[in-house]
Structure 1
Amino acid sequence: MDKSDGCCSTHLIDGDGNFNVDGMDNFMKEVKLAECGLSYAIVSIMGPQSSGKSTLLNHLFGTNFKEMDAFKGRSQTTKGIWMACCVGIEPCTLVMDLEGTDGRERGEDDTAFEKQSSLFSLAVSDIVLINMWCHDIGREQAANKPLLKTVFQIMMRLFSPRKTTLMFVICDKTRTPLENLDPVLREDIQKIWDGIPKPQAHKKTPLSEFFNVEVVALSSFEEKEEQFKGQVESLRQRFFHSIAPGGLAGDRRAVVPASGFSFSAQQIWKIIKENKDLDLPAHKVMVATVRCEETSNEKFSSFTANEEWRQLEETVQLQPVPGFGRKLSSILDACLSEYDAEATYFDEGVRSLKRSQLEEKLMQLVQPAYQFMLGHIRSGTFEKFKDAFNNALNSGKGFSAAARDCTEYYMSHFDEGSADAKIDQANWDCSRVRDKLQSDIDAHVAAVSSAKLSELVTTYEIKLNDALSGPVEALFEGANKDTWPAIRKLLQREIETAGVGFSGALSGFEMDAEMKDQMLLRLKEHARGLVEDKAKEEAGRVFDSSEG
């Protein structure tokens, strides 16, 4: 790649038709084309050999294409297609210098490369300069006639016209005013357009649907150099902001985003070399698919290598991370925003599809970390619940009230924690983890309830034991006719006393009447069983003493 005089240039396609992939990629990096989005223009020039195309481009755009030396004869200087970046033109404008037509080096019958390069130029250029001799205007055998026929015929091979601007540059203008030359040239152009065979779809399509036609005239560079340079400088001004509305290429169509231009150009040249028709809309989708896929893969790789993400992923496997959702959402947003910025100018359907696929891959990657975080929140919340519940019971709060309040508070605490862990880009449901926490809490409450009730029952059974055992034994020792009435009275009184205390203790459990009655009945039966056991012991002693 040549970078002399501040102009970058590369041999895009050599004389044998080989596309210089590496050279084009390096050229794009050098001129920072990928950063341009849709804000760039492609200009190309075609015309007879030795008609001064390279000289015109170098003066018009500050490029450094090789020019013919008039003292060495009119031989071919440009072989294949060269590309350069115009100096000082906004927006970024790239220009292609095509090998001259009707050159003797290729021979009269070898027009394949001429047609291929012309089609390539029309498929990728916004503005095509056609260099022609002033004396050829109106002549049937003019050098530009075969070229124009070629241009128009091969344009039919584009399924969708790009609305290319054809700028006819009349070289070595004579004294004939441009206003006299312009209508004659346009008539020539229209006759050629009308005379070429067209596919059915374009039988009645006017020339203006495919091309904008501009005509300019320049004095001879060799004979009137200063005049030539002044006219070129005026023409140069028209290439500033050429893609703006009203500009030279203001109504161009099917523009490939700058980051996909190299790949697009390679594929177009490949199709042309294979002598296939160019379906530009389908080509545009294909380029978008490849470039958006590449961008998606680049962004995914960049995310997996992101140090902040890697630390977050590593930490959350061991412990909860404060602000987890906010941090991860921010990293994901940066990744997706970068994709959006780089893919923004490509086909919307393709761009959206590849974005969705990237987002899905990212979500699959980060979901395990999210689940770890939810697990930490659940286990941490459960431990806090158990401590708070135990403290509430120890402080004398009613069991059911303590269970209800602590459950409500810590389930709410989980909801806050899970909301903090939520990832903006995902619509994940944490209900299964929440249900697991609820289940754990319910099981813990049930286990504590069972233990507390069992402990309570045991306490009151011991109280009844203490209240009945001694007195019943004493009554049996001094047995008389009033013993059994006294025992029944004692039993009734102690059952009632225990029942009042036990009922009060049960009130904190807020159980239903049926369950409460069952527990009181159990306590009553325990007291009766105790007295019965004492009576059996006494009867045993009576039988033992009578036998003795």
Structure 2
Amino acid sequence: MWRSLLCPAMKKRRSSLEREVAELRQRFFHSISPGGLAGDRRGVVPASGFSFSAQQIWKIIKENKDLDLPAHKVMVATVRCEEIANEKLSLLSSDQGWLALEEAVQAGPVSGFGKKLSSILEFYLSEYENEAIYFDEGVRNAKQKQLESRALDAVHQAYVTMLGHLRSKALESFKTRLEQSIQKGEGFAYSVRACAQSCLAEFDKGCEDASIRQANWDASKVREKLSRDIETHAASVRSTKLTEMIAKYEKQIADALSGPVEALFEAGELDAWASIRKLLKQGD
């Protein structure tokens, strides 16, 4: 009887004990989270900045100044985040993948350029985030933006070079296609318009492939330069074709008239000039 009365109470206490043990286990697992055994440690100086932090605290003590802990935390975060950012930028500049990509784009257009460069940048920006995560948020974010800006500056010239290759490739393609279209007997104006549209579309596709996730770089000026180059070449071809056409017809007229005119001079007729004028009118 007593056992039957005690069992529910014991079961209730056992259930409560198990719940408390589970909560304690979670506090161990998440010890640095809010409510964890160690509390929320994001507001304190991380271990990587402790040495510098201790030196600055001792300096303030020796100078007999009041220690402003929030300001001290910001100062430590500024120094350490700057150091981390500089380290990541240095590693980026010597990264073998980046160096290979930079060398390749000097020689010509690189397929998948934007994707490859985005991946390299993302790696070092993520590395910064992981190492600076426990420092002051405002300082950390500001230094991250500076790092991203400096990293983009470091790789921007390679992007410009890539666009230059795309422009040159599109222009050469236009020249080839225009000549082929004219040789097929297509109208000149139609050929220029169709070839220009096709080559500009290819250029746009190449620019999309070269774009990176971390920046919204504008390729419009390079595209405008390509359009002007296309127009200049089309005008040059038009002028050349017109000159060739005029020369061709002048030769045909000369060939058609040279024989009869020579015959009139050899005949020595008195009305030779009148006959020549008549031939010229017939040629017209």
So what's the TM-score if we normalise by structure 1? 0.43
1:438 corresponds to: 227
The answer (yes or no) to whether the contact 1:388–1:406 under 8 Å persists in 2 is: yes
**2:43, 2:134 within 8 Å by CA — same for their partners in 1?**
no
2:263 paired with 1:471: no
Residues 482 and 266 of structure 1: CA distance in aligned 2, closer, same or farther (over 3 Å): closer
State whether structure 2 residue 87 is matched by structure 1 residue 298: yes
Matched AA of 1:422: S
Which residue among 236, 239, 251 is the counterpart of 1:462? 251
In structure 2, do the counterparts of structure 1 residues 253 and 409 end up closer, same or farther at CA, with 3 Å as the change threshold? closer
Please tell me the root mean square deviation across aligned C-alpha atoms, in Å.
2.9
- In the aligned structure 1, how far is the partner of 2:232 from the partner of 2:113? 29
Structure 1 residues 410 and 354: alpha-carbon distance in aligned structure 2, compared to 1, 3 A threshold: same
Partners of 2:178 and 2:191 within 8 A in 1: yes
Which residue number corresponds to residue 414 of structure 1?
Answer: 203
The answer as to whether partners of 1:385 and 1:410 remain within 8 angstroms in 2 is: yes
Structure 1 residues not aligned, in runs of 5+: 1-236, 496-548
- What is the number of equivalent residue pairs in this alignment? 258
Which residue number in structure 2 is paired with residue 352 of structure 1?
A: 141
Alpha carbons of structure 1 residues 467 and 401: separation in structure 2 relative to 1, 3 Å: same
Pair 1:349–1:246, CA change in 2 (3 A)? closer
Q: Which of 150, 158, 164 matches 1:375?
A: 164
> Residue in 2 aligned with 1:396?
185
Q: CA–CA distance in 2 between the matches of 1:303 and 1:465?
A: 72
Counterparts in 2 of 1:385 and 1:288: CA distance versus 1, 3 Å: same
Instruction: Name the CA shift for 1:347/1:387 in 2 (closer, same or farther; >3 Å).
Output: same
Shift of 1:330: 1.0
* Whole-angstrom CA distance in 2 between matches of 1:482 and 1:304: 86
Report the counterpart of residue 340 of structure 1 in structure 2.
Answer: 129
Alpha carbons 2:132, 2:140 under 8 Å: kept: yes
Q: Does 1:428 align with 2:231?
A: no
What's the counterpart of residue 267 of structure 1?
56
Find the aligned partners of 1:494 and 1:262 in 2 and give their Cα distance.
Answer: 101
Structure 1 letter corresponding to 2:108: Q
Partner SS state of residue 408, structure 1: helix
CA distance 1:478–1:453, shift in 2 (3 Å): same
Name 2:109's counterpart in structure 1.
320
Q: Which of 143, 147, 153 is the equivalent residue of 1:364?
A: 153
Q: Is the 8 A contact 2:42 2:134 kept in 1?
A: no
- Identical counterparts, % of pairs: 59
Q: TM-score, normalised by structure 2?
A: 0.79
Report the more deviating stretch, 451-460 or 425-434: 425-434
Q: Retained in 1: the 8 A contact 2:33–2:41?
A: no
SS in structure 2 of the partner of residue 317 of structure 1: helix
Cα deviation, 1:49-77, whole Å, max 9, x if unaligned, reads: xxxxxxxxxxxxxxxxxxxxxxxxxxxxx
Instruction: Please state how far the C-alpha of 1:401 moved relative to its aligned partner.
Output: 1.6
SS in 2 for 1:424: coil
Greater gyration radius: 1
Equivalents in 1 of 2:32, 2:96: separation in Å? 42
Within the candidate set 451, 457, 476, 2:240 is matched to 451
Distance change >3 Å, CA 433–CA 312, structure 1 → 2: same
What per-residue deviation string (whole Å, max 9, x for no partner) do you get for residues 347-368 of structure 1? 2321222112211221221122
Aligned AA for 1:364? Answer: D
CA–CA distance in structure 1, aligned partners of residues 152 and 243 of structure 2: 50
Gaps of 5+ in 2: 1-23
Whole-angstrom distance in 1 between the partners of 2:66 and 2:171: 69
Which amino acid in structure 2 is aligned with residue 322 of structure 1? S
The 8 Å contact of residues 254 and 281 in structure 1, kept in 2 or not, is answered as: no
**Counterpart residue number, 1:194:** none
Give a deviation string over 1:185-240, Cα, whole Å, max 9, x none: xxxxxxxxxxxxxxxxxxxxxxxxxxxxxxxxxxxxxxxxxxxxxxxxxxxx7985
Contact 1:292–1:350 (CA under 8 A) maintained in structure 2 = yes
Residue 386 and residue 311 in structure 1: after superposition, are their counterparts in 2 closer, same or farther (change >3 A)? Answer: same
Q: Would the aligned equivalents of 1:315 and 1:321 in 2 still touch at CA under 8 Å?
A: yes
1:337 deviation in Å? 1.5
Native 8 Å contact 2:257 2:280 kept in 1: yes
CA deviation vs aligned residue, 1:369-423 (integer Å, no higher than 9, x gap): 1122122212222222222111111111122221221122112211211221122
- Higher percent of residues as strand: 1
Of structures 1 and 2, the one with the larger relative CO (CA 8 A, separation 6+) is 2
Distance 1:339 1:467, change over 3 A: same
Structure-2 change in CA distance of 1:352 and 1:396 (3 Å): same
**Paired residues of 1:300 and 1:358 also in contact (CA < 8 A):** yes
Report the CA distance shift for 1:467/1:315 in structure 2 as closer, same or farther (over 3 A).
same
3-state secondary structure, aligned to 1:345 = coil
Q: How does 1:99-498 map to 2 (within 5 A)?
A: 240=28, 254-474=43-263, 477=267, 479=269, 484=274, 490-495=279-284
- Give the aligned residue type for 1:363: L
Change beyond 3 A, Cα 1:362–1:494: same
The answer to whether the Cα contact below 8 Å between 2:34 and 2:40 also exists between their aligned partners in 1 is yes
